[in-house]
Amino acid sequence: MLGNENGQDAAAAQEGAEIRLEQRLKESETLLGAIVATARQGILVADAETGRLVMTNPAMCRLTGYGEAELMAMRAAELHPPEVRQPVLCRRQHRSARPDRLLGLGSRHRHPAIERELARYRDDLQALVEERTAKLAVESRRNATIIDLALDGYFRGSLDGRITGPP
């Protein structure tokens, strides 16, 4: 009988350890969910074997313009431009040989097509800034003229808004 009691005690201890382990796992999952949900950065987690997205957060939904349900129905490669999807799929296949790895979009590697598009956006933005700066300079000169003429007590303006000076 003594051996049976020890066996029961060992089984009870094992069961208690499994329950504690399960509780710690649930707490860890809850904490991870809270961190991901409240992160200011967009986060995606994909299954290493299938590439199917399994977790995201509101910041990533805002970044991509997709709702959470839409993202969860996608594969990670679908979020990349068509011209870089094949390299992404190749990397995913390489990583899937190591099932401990999860895929994300936060890669440190840049793609030439993405770099070209970013350069185009930078150039467009620079042109917009220069154009707006020039317009602000014209407005600033116009306002200075108005103030100078107002201090003299008179000025003349045209119907199109130009200040032409004293009458």
Rounded CA gap, 96 and 79, in Å? Answer: 18
Strand spans (E) along the chain: 44-46, 53-56, 156-157, 163-165
- Write the pLDDT tens digit of every residue in 42-89: 888 888 788 888 889 999 999 889 999 999 998 888 887 877 767 656
Q: Are residues 91 and 104 in contact, defined by beta-carbon separation less than 8 angstroms?
A: no
- Residue 84 structure tokens: 């870089």
Kindly report which listed range (34-38, 44-48, 142-146) carries the lowest average pLDDT score. 142-146
Q: What's the confidence (pLDDT) of residue 120?
A: 86
Q: pTM of this prediction?
A: 0.43
Q: What is the DSSP letter of 75?
A: B
CA distances from 150 to 69, 145, 166 (A): 61, 8, 10
Residue 141 has pLDDT above 80, yes or no: yes
Q: What's the confidence (pLDDT) of residue 105?
A: 44
Q: Which whole number is the average pLDDT over 22-40?
A: 89
